[in-house]
């Protein structure tokens, strides 16, 4: 059924425009009312199938969300904030003990914050204090957040950075992007290009290795376009990091928490980092960031780092219930990620065969994207077409988000029903068809 944009929606959007700073809001006139599973409703009662998980936060779906909400409500009645930076509480300690068990042996120590960007800030500080080095390396296309430290690492759109500098010292290298690489059919060469760039350009011309603290990366680039690097890439990166004693910092904020099939997306590549960051899904809808480091790196001196709300009891209660749910249902969640992911990929690949507009289909688990191009030969980004398709889907009751220059991301909650998944994909295909010449 077509979505109706009535006076309630128009009214909120008008008031918002007067009083709220513009963020990244896309073109969609979606004004949320309720929902936390694979369906959401706006304030006029329009119902939508959700292919966004509200930016990879409502990953676990309805059943888990009910348990998460109950745990948060109970904790709210007991105590909400206990100044975890100055005093002790048991719940965040219990949650941290449980969380580190989801990491490889030797992890470790946790720092709690309230968002993804803060988790990355914490990782920057940890990398610097543990190595006593100051320079960082990250990748083009990366998105690590928007506060001034993490923004230095972010390099996916110039608008993110314009007028906000100067930044901390970061050198950027190309991220292996198989579809647009000079070697699309040769994963080793595609990876090697990035590694050689770091060795020859960054370490050879810009900064001596002794000054580099860490390399920051996303296992699958999120905001940059859902770019999955060749499977051997991170092994090569780890060899380079070991050679020069750099730390590896893995940003799992979007790809982690089962989205890419494993609790840590990097585990799909058979590599371990030294520091990990998590946020988004970990709080089950409440704000929580976690930075997890290997125990061998040591501890921070008292007073060197803290934050008023890190370890907030309500957020941690929600995260704790969410993690319990994950542990109890690990097998079935992973099997859902696999079967549903495969089904979506199959449908999208059929669309790739059928429509000139669909240039590339890629992803891992339930972190999937279709990149739209004006023609398969030119690979010219089809930005306007992508935006029209997103809007058409919205008008037909499917919530989607863009990613990269001209891609559409598909990140539904893991337990999305088959019928909603099929309906959503039908809406998407119809829009692609209508916008194909
Ligand atoms: C990989 C990654 N890192 C960091 C962030 C920043 O998280 P937040 O928006 O919670 O600050 C994001 C947000 O999209 C992200 O995708």
Give the closest residue to 290 by CA, choosing from 268, 318, 270, 328.
318
How far apart (Å, rounded) are the C-alpha atoms in residues 344 and 303?
A: 49
121, 255, 280, 309: which to mutate for ligand 1, most atoms within 8 A of CB? 280
Residue 112, in any domain of the structure: yes
Q: Which residues pair with 362 in a beta bridge?
A: 369
Q: Ligand 1 — pocket residues by CB below 6 A?
A: 115-117, 120, 143-145, 218, 222-223, 251, 253-254, 279
Domain region containing 14: 7-60+337-434
55 within 8 A of 40, measured Cβ to Cβ: no
Cα-to-centroid distance, 173 and ligand 1 (Å): 20
In the prediction, which pLDDT does 191 show? 96
- Domain check: are 229 and 173 in the same one? yes
222, 255, 257, 404: which to mutate for ligand 1, most atoms within 8 A of CB? 222
Task: Please count the helices (runs of H) and the strands (runs of E) in the chain.
Answer: 13, 15
In the prediction, which pLDDT does 27 show? 77
Give the closest residue to 414 by CA, choosing from 146, 122, 53.
53
184 within 8 A of 178, measured Cβ to Cβ: yes
Residue 2, in any domain of the structure: no
Both tokens of 336, joined, read 């859902």
How far apart (Å, rounded) are the C-alpha atoms in residues 300 and 123?
A: 12
Give the closest residue to 33 by CA, choosing from 19, 20, 17, 44.
44
- Domain check: are 49 and 86 in the same one? no
Cα-to-centroid distance, 268 and ligand 1 (Å): 20
Cα-to-centroid distance, 354 and ligand 1 (Å): 34
Atom of ligand 1 nearest to the CA of 145: 6
- Domain check: are 135 and 52 in the same one? no
- Domain boundary residue among 281, 296, 328? 328
Both tokens of 161, joined, read 């950075």
- Domain check: are 385 and 236 in the same one? no
Q: What percent of the chain has a predicted confidence (pLDDT) above 70?
A: 99
Q: Please report the beta strands in 123-255, taking only residues with DSSP state E, as ranges in sequence order.
A: 135-139, 170-173, 212-217, 247-251
- The number of beta carbons lying within 10 Å of the beta carbon of residue 47 is 12
Both tokens of 231, joined, read 């499977």
We report the CATH number of the domain holding residue 278 as 3.40.640.10
- Domain check: are 142 and 206 in the same one? yes
Q: Which residues pair with 410 in a beta bridge?
A: 368
259 within 8 A of 287, measured Cβ to Cβ: no
211 within 8 A of 129, measured Cβ to Cβ: no
Cα-to-centroid distance, 166 and ligand 1 (Å): 21
Residue 225, in any domain of the structure: yes
- Domain check: are 44 and 191 in the same one? no
- Domain check: are 47 and 73 in the same one? no
First-last CA distance in the chain: 25
Residue pLDDT tens, the chain, 437 long? 689 999 999 999 999 999 999 887 767 999 999 987 678 999 999 999 999 999 999 999 989 999 999 999 999 999 999 999 999 999 999 999 999 999 999 998 999 999 999 999 999 999 999 999 999 999 999 999 999 999 999 998 899 999 999 999 999 999 999 999 999 899 999 999 999 999 999 999 999 999 999 999 999 999 999 999 999 999 999 999 999 999 999 999 999 999 999 999 999 999 999 999 999 999 999 999 999 999 999 999 999 999 999 999 999 999 999 999 999 999 999 999 999 999 999 999 999 999 999 999 999 999 999 999 999 999 999 999 999 999 999 999 999 999 999 999 999 999 999 999 999 999 999 999 999 97
Residue 1, in any domain of the structure: no
- Domain boundary residue among 311, 328, 345? 328
- Domain check: are 80 and 198 in the same one? yes
- Domain check: are 323 and 352 in the same one? no
Nearest-CA residue for ligand 1 atom 10 is: 116
Residue 389, in any domain of the structure: yes
How far apart (Å, rounded) are the C-alpha atoms in residues 60 and 304?
A: 35
How far apart (Å, rounded) are the C-alpha atoms in residues 324 and 98?
A: 9
The dihedral over CA atoms of 127, 128, 131, 137, expressed in degrees to the nearest 10, equals: 70
- Domain check: are 267 and 381 in the same one? no
What strands lie across the sheet with 47-50, from one edge to the other? 32-34, 39-42, 47-50, 398-399
In the prediction, which pLDDT does 319 show? 98
Both tokens of 245, joined, read 């004693």
- The number of beta carbons lying within 10 Å of the beta carbon of residue 218 is 28
Q: To the nearest whole number, what is the mean pLDDT of the chain?
A: 96
How far apart (Å, rounded) are the C-alpha atoms in residues 192 and 74?
A: 52
We report the CATH number of the domain holding residue 362 as 3.90.1150.10
- Domain boundary residue among 287, 310, 328? 328
Residue 100, in any domain of the structure: yes
In the prediction, which pLDDT does 24 show? 78
In the prediction, which pLDDT does 376 show? 97
How many domains, in total, are found in the chain? 2
Radius of gyration of the chain (CA): 22
- Domain check: are 37 and 77 in the same one? no
- Domain check: are 33 and 103 in the same one? no
In the prediction, which pLDDT does 152 show? 98
């Amino acid at each position: 059924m077509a979505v109706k944009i009535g006076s309630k929606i128009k009214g909120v959007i008008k008031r918002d425009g007067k009083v709220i700073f513009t963020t990244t809001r896309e073109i969609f006139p979606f004004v949320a009312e309720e929902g936390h599973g694979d369906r959401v409703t706006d304030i006029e009662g329009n119902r939508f199938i959700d292919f966004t998980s509200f930016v990879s936060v409502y990953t676990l779906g309805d059943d888990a969300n009910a348990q998460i909400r109950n745990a948060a409500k109970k904790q709210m009645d007991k105590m909400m904030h206990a100044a975890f930076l100055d005093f002790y509480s048991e719940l965040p300690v219990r949650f941290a003990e449980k969380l580190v068990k989801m990491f490889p042996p030797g992890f470790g120590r946790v720092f709690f914050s309230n968002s993804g960007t803060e988790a990355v800030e914490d990782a920057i500080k940890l990398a610097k204090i543990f190595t006593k080095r100051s320079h960082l390396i990250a990748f083009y296309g990366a998105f690590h957040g928007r506060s001034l430290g993490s923004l230095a690492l972010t390099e996916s759109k110039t608008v993110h950075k314009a007028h906000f500098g100067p930044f901390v010292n970061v050198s950027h290298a190309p991220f292996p992007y198989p579809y647009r690489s000079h070697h699309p059919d040769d994963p080793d060469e595609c990876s090697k290009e990035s590694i050689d760039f770091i060795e020859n350009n960054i370490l050879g011309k810009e900064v001596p290795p002794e000054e580099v603290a860490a390399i920051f990366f996303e296992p699958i680039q999120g905001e940059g376009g859902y770019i999955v690097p060749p499977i051997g890439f991170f092994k090569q990166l780890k060899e380079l990091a070991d050679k020069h004693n750099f730390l590896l910092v893995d940003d799992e904020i979007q790809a982690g928490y089962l989205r890419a099939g494993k609790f840590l997306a990097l585990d799909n590549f058979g590599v371990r980092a030294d520091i990990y960051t998590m946020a988004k899904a970990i709080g089950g809808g409440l704000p929580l960031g976690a930075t997890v480091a290997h125990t061998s790196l040591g501890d921070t001196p008292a007073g060197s780092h803290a934050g008023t709300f890190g370890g907030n009891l309500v957020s941690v209660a929600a995260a704790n219930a969410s993690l319990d749910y994950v542990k109890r249902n690990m097998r079935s969640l992973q099997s859902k990620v696999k079967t549903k992911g495969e089904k979506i990929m199959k449908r999208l690949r059929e669309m790739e065969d059928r429509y000139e507009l669909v240039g590339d289909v890629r992803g891992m688990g339930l972190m999937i994207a279709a990149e739209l191009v004006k023609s398969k030969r030119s690979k010219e980004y089809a930005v306007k077409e992508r935006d029209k398709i997103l809007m058409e889907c919205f008008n037909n009751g499917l919530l989607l988000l863009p990613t990269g220059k001209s891609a559409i991301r598909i990140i539904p909650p893991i337990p999305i029903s088959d019928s909603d998944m099929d309906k959503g994909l039908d809406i998407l295909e119809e829009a692609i068809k209508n916008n194909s010449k």
